[in-house]
Structure 1
Amino acid sequence: RTPALALLLGLLSFFTLPCLHSRRVLDTVVSEPGPGLPWYSRVVYVDDQVIYVYTSGMQRAEPRPVWMAQNEGPEFWDERTWWAQRHQKWFKASLNTLGQLYNQSEGFHIIQMKYGCDLREDNTTWGFYQDSYDGRDFLTFDTESMTLGAADIGAQITKRRWDAEVFDNQQWKRYLEERCIPWLRSSLEYGKETLQRKVRPTARVSDRSSHDGLTTLSCKVSGFYPQDITVTWLRNGENRQQETYSEGILPSGDGTYQTWVAMEIDPKIKAHYSCHVEHESLLEPLSISWGKEFVCVSVFLSYDPAGSQKHGSTGPSFLPMWPERDV
């Protein structure tokens, strides 16, 4: 895989778990850095918002939104920097060790580690950890069985060392309950005007001629927040999801999202077609019929507030399992 593709695959899998709110840490390490691509970077997200960044070039953790800078003082950022620099050293050793495991001496290689926690609608919590090497799964932590899963022989070697030397499954329980979820709640409170807002979608149906006399119906939905949304085509009230296609949910560029869903029909067959939109900002779903243009333009903001330990060991010189305990 190309370097860009490996990086993209990791980023695309970053926001894949449905939840009410989430906190994610993404560490990326590359063997051949370049302009705009430092050899080590850490990006921390709450939901879809970057809350702070550290890179090997900056050598300092820096807040991104104003509400993070205003609510956390110098001591907080000093500690974030300390942890990032600790992982930076650890990852440098990991690149060398993984090169030996896979008998690689040169070329572009990338390590990505993703971990964090989710706060779900029923107020339950969930922890997440996964890492990859060159765009392929390496190790995954199963929070149900509290065990590590290895993707290949190289990962199995690392897993055996971790199980024997450093692995403590209670570490994840403590991280989830004592660090990740409390900081997620704090961030949600700091940035509630952004993170907990609800913006109603605008929807529009259109059509165009297709091949062989068919017609393509398109339903474009835009301007909504948060990201999760369900858009389906109905024929005579029945869901036709298997016959539709879409390019997914994309940023609109103004802090909201957009998507479109299309379906080919035979206009000679008489039927009633409508686009069905469900979003948490709506009191009831939108239903936009083909041939009857409907645009929803109402927008309102609302929110519903949710209610460090350092250690001196340098650890083994391979891909680190342990999360930043206070991130």
Structure 2
Amino acid sequence: MFIITVFLLLSTGLTVNSEIHSLRYIYTAFSKPPRLEGFHEFAALSLLDNRMIDYFDSDHPTKVPKQDWMKERLHDDYWEKGTQSRKSKQQWFKVNIDILMKRMRQNDSDVHVLQWMHGCDGETQPDNTLKFKRGIDRYAYDGNDFLSFDVVNAVWVAAVPAAEPTKRKWDEVQVLKEYTKGYLENECMDWLNKFKNYGEQQLRQASPPEVFVFAKETKIETNMLTCLATGFYSKDITMNIKRNGRVLTVEDELMSSGVQPNDDDTHQIRNSVEILRSDSSKYSCQVIHEATGVDVEKVWGKKHFHILAKLAKNKKTSLESFFAQVKRATERQKPTTSKKRKLHLTDSTRSPTGNIALMRHVVPTHQTCSA
């Protein structure tokens, strides 16, 4: 499964936390249907800061949004044109896989794969706009580097001898080199700025934290009391665990995860402290999120522990399932009218899709040239 490994390496970009934002378009085409679950003969996706924002594949040949703000901010004609663009690329890939297979004297007995990734990285400026940092445009064949574009010198670079004929052919097309360089430095950056702003505007509209207080029974005579706030934006937040009204500190052996990213640009934080089971003190969790005007303090009660200790003891319960049950249990104790939000519990470490895939807004000039 070298293809999956290569895809993941190609799609790895820079994160939001580094103040570098990235936009990637990734296309994958097989020489014939791969007969593997989750894979398609042709697929395409777009990644903004490693999060999938749209998707297309040959079994469901329609370009679709993968973020709410993409659906809300981009009109029907954008998706219709995008669908047609994907279909034309699918045909281009089919023709060029055939060319490369003949060039390398390969037959139809094996499945071969051609991949293309292109995009740009931008660095955040004081006015919140992005300045071009680097552009990427490269191809891989059967999981190995094949051809890439040197943006600085505006030439194609062959990674293997089989790519030399393509390099010579494309280098002779001056308009192709000029277009590729201009696209990466300008048009790609325009889309990156636009997508980044669309996503941030939605977050700024409504991203208050959800707050949970729970305890887990340990092997000794103590409980681990934890306060969790998740789903908030911006990242500036204050969290306190109090004992009889006094704010606990590191001197009380308070532990904190610090603010961590969720997979949709919101954040989470959790503070924990170990307490004796016999402790009858009043414990509470205070969360202040000035960006959304939230200032809430939730009290931990013994009755909560008796409900949740049973959940914590169940080793088959996943972390996300555990917290979902925590939420339901605590809501039963005190009715709330707040709007339910998606519960984010872990760092963004999972791949956006089980498929390998593709995308782009306009048909690139590459598709006017064969390999």
Q: Structure 1 length normalisation: TM-score? A: 0.61
> How far is the alpha carbon of 1:309 from its aligned partner?
6.2
Q: Deviations over 1:263-311 (max 9, x none)?
A: xxxxxxxxxxxxxxxxxx9xxxxxxxxxxxxxxx979697xxxxx7669
Contact in 1 for aligned 2:136/2:184 (Cα 8 Å):
no
Matching residue of 2:28: 28
Where does the alignment leave 5 or more consecutive residues of structure 2 unmatched? 205-232, 238-254, 270-285, 292-360
Q: 1:97 to 1:300 in 2, by over 3 A?
A: farther
Matching residue of 2:114: 111
- Is it true that 1:151 corresponds to 2:159 in the alignment? yes
CA–CA distance in structure 2, aligned partners of residues 26 and 101 of structure 1? 24
**What letter matches 1:8 in structure 2?**
T
CA–CA distance in structure 2, aligned partners of residues 299 and 166 of structure 1? 57
> How far is the alpha carbon of 1:312 from its aligned partner?
10
Matching residue of 1:96: 98
Matching residue of 1:317: 370
CA–CA distance in structure 1, aligned partners of residues 146 and 30 of structure 2? 16
- Aligned counterparts, 1:61-210, within 5 A: 61-105=63-107, 106-122=109-125, 123-125=130-132, 126-165=134-173, 168-192=176-200, 197=233, 199=235
Matching residue of 1:58: 60
Matching residue of 1:40: 42
CA–CA distance in structure 2, aligned partners of residues 300 and 147 of structure 1? 50
Q: 1:72 to 1:313 in 2, by over 3 A?
A: same
- Is it true that 1:15 corresponds to 2:12 in the alignment? yes
Comparing both structures, which one devotes a greater share of its residues to helix? 2
- Aligned counterparts, 1:246-325, within 5 A: 315-318=368-371
Matching residue of 1:225: 261
Contact in 2 for aligned 1:223/1:256 (Cα 8 Å):
no
Q: Structure 2 length normalisation: TM-score? A: 0.54
Contact in 2 for aligned 1:200/1:299 (Cα 8 Å):
no
Contact in 1 for aligned 2:69/2:198 (Cα 8 Å):
yes
CA–CA distance in structure 2, aligned partners of residues 190 and 163 of structure 1? 37
Number of residue equivalences: 233
Contact in 2 for aligned 1:43/1:50 (Cα 8 Å):
yes
Matching residue of 1:232: none
Q: 1:46 to 1:301 in 2, by over 3 A?
A: farther
Q: Which has the larger radius of gyration?
A: 2
CA–CA distance in structure 2, aligned partners of residues 199 and 314 of structure 1? 42
Q: 1:183 to 1:313 in 2, by over 3 A?
A: closer
**What letter matches 1:38 in structure 2?**
H
Runs (4 or more) in structure 1 with deviation over 3 Å come to: 16-19, 193-201, 219-223, 254-258, 297-302, 308-314
Residue 170 of structure 1: SS of its match in structure 2?
helix
> How far is the alpha carbon of 1:110 from its aligned partner?
1.3
CA–CA distance in structure 2, aligned partners of residues 154 and 77 of structure 1? 36
CA–CA distance in structure 2, aligned partners of residues 94 and 195 of structure 1? 42
- Is it true that 1:6 corresponds to 2:3 in the alignment? yes
Residue 120 of structure 1: SS of its match in structure 2?
strand
Residue 60 of structure 2: SS of its match in structure 1?
coil
Q: 1:300 to 1:88 in 2, by over 3 A?
A: farther
Residue 368 of structure 2: SS of its match in structure 1?
coil
> How far is the alpha carbon of 1:13 from its aligned partner?
3.0
Residue 104 of structure 1: SS of its match in structure 2?
coil
CA–CA distance in structure 1, aligned partners of residues 256 and 137 of structure 2? 35
Where does the alignment leave 5 or more consecutive residues of structure 1 unmatched? 202-218, 227-250, 259-280, 282-296, 303-307, 319-327
